[in-house]
Amino acid sequence: MNRLQVILFVALVLSGLYMVRVSYEARRLFVEVERAQAEERQLETEYEQLQVDKRAQATPLRVEKVAREKLAMRTATPAVTHYVTHAEAAPAAVSGAASGEGGR
């Protein structure tokens, strides 16, 4: 009987140590999940704020203002329009226009 009691005692101690280890690991994983969820909430909030900023930056009036001020762009008018033709395409376009085969 003494030998059986020792074996049972060792099994009890080992199972107790295993239970403590599993409980510790479960707590550690739970804390890690909570941290990940908190980070997810923070990233979602930051993403939403960036989307709001993006929409605010992309309004047509703001884009036009930046184009005028920083890029020195201006509205296209017939007075400032320059037409560029390709050297090889120009003779074909002229011959096509002469024969009545316009590009329209």
Interval 32-64: pLDDT, tens: 999 999 999 999 999 999 999 999 888 888 888
Element (H or E) spanning 104, and its range?
A: none
Q: Which of 15-19, 58-62, 95-99 has the highest mean pLDDT?
A: 15-19
Domain ranges of the chain: 2-76
Average pLDDT of 80-86?
A: 81
Q: Which helix (H) or strand (E) element contains residue 24? A: helix 2-57
Is a pLDDT exceeding 60 seen at residue 96? Answer: no
pLDDT on residue 102 = 47
The span from the CA of 64 to the CA of 74, in Å, is 9
What pLDDT band is residue 94 in, cutting at 50, 70 and 90? low
Residue 92 has what pLDDT?
54
Q: What is the DSSP letter of 103?
A: -
pTM: 0.50
Three-class DSSP labels, 25-87: HHHHHHHHHHHHHHHHHHHHHHHHHHHHHHHHHCCHHHHHHHHHHCCCCCCCCCCCCCCCCCC
